[in-house]
Structure 1
Amino acid sequence: MSAVTSPLMAGLQGRNARVLTPQGETSDAQIRARALRMADRLALQGIDRVASQLDNGLHWLILDLALRELGGVHVPLPTFFSSEQIAHALTSSGAQCVVTAIGAPAPVGSRGALGGLDDGALVQWQTLPAAAVTLPTGTACVTYTSGTTGRPKGVCLAADTLLTVASALVQGSSAISPRRHLCLMPLSTLLENVAGLYATLLSDAQIALPSLAEIGYTGASGLNVPALLQCLHRYQPESVILVPQLLLAVVMAAERGAALPPSLRYIAVGGGRVGPTLLGRARALDLPVFEGYGLTECASVVCLNQPGASRDGSVGKALPHARLTVVNGEIQVDGARALGYLGGERCPDGPIRTGDLGHIDADGFVHVTGRRKNVFITAFGRNVSPEWVESELLAHPDLAQAVVWGEAQADNVAVLVPRRADLDDAALARAVAEVNAGLPDYARVSRIVRAPAPFSASAGLLTANGRPRRDAILSHFQAEVDASYRHPASVPSTGVSA
């Protein structure tokens, strides 16, 4: 292969320990050599479009770097995708082969093992039927949006767009310049891929890449908090990226006396709304939390609170590559953007309409208040963004998951998952009443539907980032929601008028 062309590879200039994994340390030179060998082997077999369904680890990074160097296409699939979702993704993307862990079931439609590409890693390659799928010119990554159905939507992104966003994130964190980042989200998540891997490589910092099991993930949505804390202490990161659920787990553990590593200097939070109550609790613990905002069609992050330019309640100011405006209450973004969608659908010309409601204050800080399509109107004509109410509910230590609804109703209902299975219904109602005390009357929750099990991605009730699939949850619990309105309200009045 010719000289290195990818900026990601060009930055690998000999650091003694660039990547840390449970198996040990790997240097720049070792990563560079392995990625170049992988790129050569792929080129020899005429392969330039590869799907992967892999755990976090060095093998994921090597494959991705090889494809970036080759100018190929990576189709990373979440580990929790069902067999039907995998089959759809493989067919719709036109991937020539798929890489999985050794021992994993062969994906539906695969035609047998493909040799000569494993480089000693504990992965297996399976060939796929030839599929004439045309991708937009310049596609380097096909990432799947969460969507609201069981069939995720493939978004095509160019390498230079991904690197533009990663470079902007490096600039945004320059006041701190973290020297070690710990990847705590699946690498198939675009946010961790761009802001975790790419931004860290471009900033010449170290990357800690434990497996998802070592981080503490169990199944599709469970989290072992002691394992997460142990992972933080083992790798002593200066930066991490958390979704709100992970931030809440860390905050609750610290409030109960668990020690957090003193190395933490930059905790970026995204992938969902962070309630002001949770941010306040994090601030009380002196946690360096910075909330951001992004979307897949813009190659991830477009706004970020930064050291010296942070405002609680906002998602920060626009990064240099993005231009944000608000039209009729909806946030629109111009700048870095996707090439299009699988199936030939193009991104519309002009700014991308996000579907998110919000405003930009006089100092340029962006405030996101909810999703336009999720806003419901009560029987009294009051508009309610359920994300706002849910974020307050989830800040309560007894509540793990929540979806709020009240369209055309006199009061609101919440489908709830308690944090502990032994929490009885009366205690659950008291917890909701405590949250209600801080809400205006039209936003309070008066009725509860208790979910028998946590919402999970495998059941189609959560997205890849852990956000609730609202329509799916409300449909799943429709009978219980309807029944709740045939009985008196189940949450005691707070006695507070807000």
Structure 2
Amino acid sequence: MTDNPHAHSPLLQSLRATAETYPGRAALLGDHEGFTYGELMQEVTAIAEAITRRDLQVVGLFANNGPRWLLVDLACQLAGVTLVPLPGFFSPQQLLHTLVTSGLQALLTDMPDYFADAPGFGPAEAFAGMTLLPCSQVQPAKLPAETAKITFTSGSTGTPRGVCLSNATQFATAEALAECLAPLRCATHMCLLPLATLLENVAGAYTCWLLGGTALVPGLERLGFSGSSQLDMPRLCACIDEHQPDSLILLPQILKSLLEQVDNSGWQPPVSLRFVAVGGGKVSAELLREATLMGLPVYEGYGLSECGSVVALNLPGAVREGTAGKPLPHCEISLRNGEVVVRGPRYLGYLGTQPDSAEGGGSDDGDGCEDGWLATGDLGSRDSDGFLHITGRKKNILISTYGRNISPEWIESELLRSQQILQCVVVGDARPYCSALLFVRPDTDIRQIDDWIATVNGGLPDYARIQHWALLPEPLTFSGGLLTANGRPRRDPIARRYAQIIENLYRIPPKTSSPSSPALAAGAPNPGVTQ
């Protein structure tokens, strides 16, 4: 195919071995087509040869979930071509930014009409069950050597940031996960998140294949997704019921919504489920316990794109609710001044930086690399048994006018345990107390919210209690610039957008504080506060 060093994919070597031993085993199933391991390798080889004939070096992929997405991913690895997955929830401006900065020579898509009026594309042609659009006006980009995939994260600003990854780094993550999950004998994994999300294609599909399993990839509309953040939960539950998967990967909000389906609609998780990973944000220990009681075998994890996705995970037999688990075998995790740092396989650099300057670690602007350690920008701790506790983002710390340093994620995770609260942003930097902006269910009785906040406040120290709150006029969305790609609040833009609402919260005298809980009053450590 090519002599490019990143063409030698250890994942493909594993797939070839499985295809030789079990050629008739199902490897990939979608809504309308499926492939055995033998057929998978034949199709991937044919697509890779077609890419090579066109002398393409950097290829974009803007497509719905389905077998074709993963076939193109594998074919680019075989052909030694850099793949640039483009998330479907990116705005037109963000898509244009990624097209230009990554130096795409061609874009593969199953939605060609989306680009019908976009400038800079040559004549379309049918290719690999999709449409290939040559990029005629894009200048080549200087990429770090061995860049096999550029995964874009929204980071802390609206401009997507390209993380350059090698095949080896992605494989190391999948291999470590496969080693840990092998005893569970998960035979089928359903890809529920968009495949442009690194977590789903590496921890989901790649890990499934290393276990010799079948990747189930229904289209996003079959899963109930629409727009940037809309999710039809009855449709999602019906899809899970139809496929009866052994494993899933969820974001915290999807987990919460699934539990609401159990409570409100009587949905029962299929008994086939053996492992449900949840990541992308902090999850309260109570929500995890509730999930387990309802039949969802949920295990929280932690990772970042710069490390090839997952670096820590709770596992059967090694679980501590409310923690991110223990480090996976391919990496080390430590702490420096309260910040989580990781050593092991990592990214090659950011798009637009010098190839040897992999700095600024963490999708939301950590402090870079030093002595092989990557600063993540996340605050955390390790308990005596080695479990990792993530308490918030270093840059998100609120410093009250009384000098208390408070992680807003800690308080938010407690408030979001209520089914009535859909979104929550805690504010209070340079203020005397904490307040909250809430988006709630339309039929919510406001008195229920007051009662719930009072309940949560009863378990918080006085300086972290919510004194006042206000309703958000509309939900926070990615397309509106107020959420990151994985659903975290973008705090500075939110503060600017709702500055007047926040200011009004601090024109009201604070409520009388109730007594601190005995444990906190006695000086017990609090994971959400740094002194």
Q: TM-score range by the shorter chain?
A: over 0.9
The residue aligned with 2:9 is 6
Q: Is 1:27 aligned to residue 36 of structure 2?
A: yes
Q: CA offset at residue 349 of structure 1? A: 4.2
Do 1:190 and 1:296's aligned partners in 2 also have CA atoms closer than 8 Å? yes
Q: 1:335: how far off?
A: 0.7
Contact 1:402-1:414 within 8 A present in 2 as well: yes
Aligned to 1:290: 299
2:397 to 375, 378, 387: 375
Q: Is the 8 A contact 1:215 1:231 kept in 2?
A: yes
Matched, 1:91 2:126: no
Q: Which residue is equivalent to 2:69? A: 60
Q: Which amino acid aligns with 2:29?
A: L
Is 2:376 the partner of 1:365? no
Which residue, 146, 161, 173 being the options, matches 1:138? 146
Distance 1:100 1:433 in 2: 50
What does 1:188-337 correspond to in 2, within 5 Å? 188-256=196-264, 257-337=266-346
Q: Does 1:458 align with 2:479?
A: yes
Which residue matches 2:427?
405
Give the conservation status (yes or no) of the 8 Å contact 2:400–2:432: yes
The alignment-based identity, stated in percent, is 41
Shift of residue 40 of structure 1?
0.7
- Secondary structure at 1:352 match in 2: strand
Q: Is the 8 A contact 1:293 1:303 kept in 2?
A: yes
Does the aligned pair in 1 maintain the 2:87–2:194 contact within 8 Å?
A: yes
Q: Take 1:83 and 1:260, find their aligned partners in 2: how far apart are those partners?
A: 37
Describe the superposition over 1:7-53 as per-residue Cα deviations: whole angstroms up to 9, x where unpaired: 43341512342222121432223322221111111101101211111
Counterpart residue identity of residue 240, structure 2: L
Cα 1:453–1:46 change in 2 (3 A) is same
1:484 matched to which residue of 2? 505
Range that drifts further, 302-311 or 20-29: 20-29
Aligned residue among 192, 195, 203 for 1:187? 195
Q: Is the 8 A contact 2:124 2:131 kept in 1?
A: no
DSSP 3-state at the match of 1:403: strand
Q: 1:217 to 1:496 in 2, by over 3 A?
A: farther
Q: Count the aligned residue pairs.
A: 493
TM superposition shift of 1:132: 2.5
Report the residue type matching 2:122 in the other structure. Answer: G
Q: Name 1:428's counterpart in structure 2.
A: 449
Identify the match of residue 343 of structure 1 among 352, 358, 363: 352
* 1:79 and 2:112 aligned: no
Is the 1:433–1:494 contact (alpha carbons within 8 Å) kept by the matching residues of 2? no
CA shift digits 1:231-257 (9 cap, x unpaired): 110110110011111111112222332
**Are residue 441 (structure 1) and residue 462 (structure 2) matched?**
yes
Q: Is the 8 A contact 2:282 2:409 kept in 1?
A: yes
Q: 1:493: Cα distance to partner?
A: 6.8
Task: State TM-score, norm by structure 1.
Answer: 0.94
Counterpart contact for 1:412–1:443, Cα < 8 Å: yes
Query: Deviation of residue 162 (structure 1)?
Result: 0.5
Written as runs of structure 1 = structure 2, the 5 A alignment for 1:100-115 is 100-106=109-115, 108-115=118-125
Alpha-carbon shift at residue 110 of structure 1 (Å): 2.8
Q: Deviations over 1:182-205 (max 9, x none)?
A: 111111111111101111111110
Q: CA deviation at 1:343?
A: 0.8
Amino acid at match of 1:204: G
Are residues 274 and 15 of structure 1, via their aligned partners in 2, closer, same or farther at CA, if it must alter by over 3 Å? farther
Q: State the 1:321 CA deviation.
A: 1.2
> Structure 1 residues 76, 165: closer, same or farther in 2, change over 3 A?
same
- Say which SS state the counterpart of residue 156 (structure 1) adopts: strand
State the Cα deviation string for residues 361-390 of structure 1 (Å, max 9, x = none): 222211111111111122332221111111
Instruction: Write out per-residue CA displacement over residues 273-314 of structure 1, whole angstroms, 9 at most, x where no aligned residue.
Output: 111221121132242111111111111111111111121122
- Which 10-residue stretch deviates more, 474-483 or 98-107? 98-107
Per-residue Cα deviation, 1:426-470 (whole angstroms, up to 9, x for no partner)? 443333333323322222212222112211111111111112212
Q: Deviations over 1:60-113 (max 9, x none)?
A: 111101001111111001101111111111111111111222343217443223
TM-score, normalization by structure 2: 0.89
What is the match of residue 516 of structure 2? 497
Consecutive unaligned residues of structure 2, counting only runs of 5 or more, are: 359-368, 518-531
Counterpart Cα distance in 2 of 1:205 and 1:463: 32
> Take 2:472 and 2:466, find their aligned partners in 1: how far apart are those partners?
16
Structure 1 unaligned spans of 5+ = none
